[in-house]
Amino acid sequence: MTKKERYIQFIEHFTNAMPDAKTELKYGNAFELLCAVMLSAQCTDKRVNMVTPHLFAAYPDASSLSKATKEDVVVIVGSVSYPNSKAEHLVQMAKMLVERHNGEVPSDFDSLVALPGVGRKTANVMLSVVFNQATMAVDTHVFRVSHRLGLVSDKCTTPLAVEKELTKNIPEEIIPKAHHWLILHGRYVCKAQRPLCKECELKIWCKYYKTNPSL
């Protein structure tokens, strides 16, 4: 199967199987999503969703969070991974939003990655989910699933290389949704340790299953 055929199969399957795919992080506005995505690094969305209601109740906007101390925030986010550094980044991020952007989350990549604690992946999530831009955030799920399905070559050994390959081959208008297709498939079916290949409808053309048929 050619790479073009793989992308056709990929898009056709998920257009039908997950027509309304979206982030599982709970948020009400761009500021809340930015906080949630920052907290989600190396942490489950389920855990983040347990923490953020308390965080947003205490600090509903950038202005209020910018006045908090790291210690104040750690008390709330202490159950997520790396709570001290994340709390520090949240406060500093809020201060920069107030100082440079009137407390609003910017809609351009360069301004987003300039925020403390915001890297390429987080910026791409914000641009895709909030601003519906054709960006592909590559987390561990996207990286793993895209390789297993043969959507990207083995030469794509970095998240950036995977991002470029996916955005080159997926139609621009569905890139934001395709990001969630890959994440959700990786989270619930194509798991890292024990992929549910027997249950997966993509196994008939999956590159990984072809070399691991006993799964």
Give the active site residues.
121, 139
Q: How many CB atoms lie within 10 A of CB 190?
A: 23
Contact 37, 25 (CB under 8 A): yes
Q: Which residues of 149-187 are buried (b: 16+ CB within 10 A; e: fewer)?
A: bbbbeeebeebeebbebbbebbeeeebbbbbbbbbbbbb
d(CA 52, CA 65): 13
Helix axes 45-58, 30-39, angle to 10 degrees: 130
d(CA 205, CA 215): 15
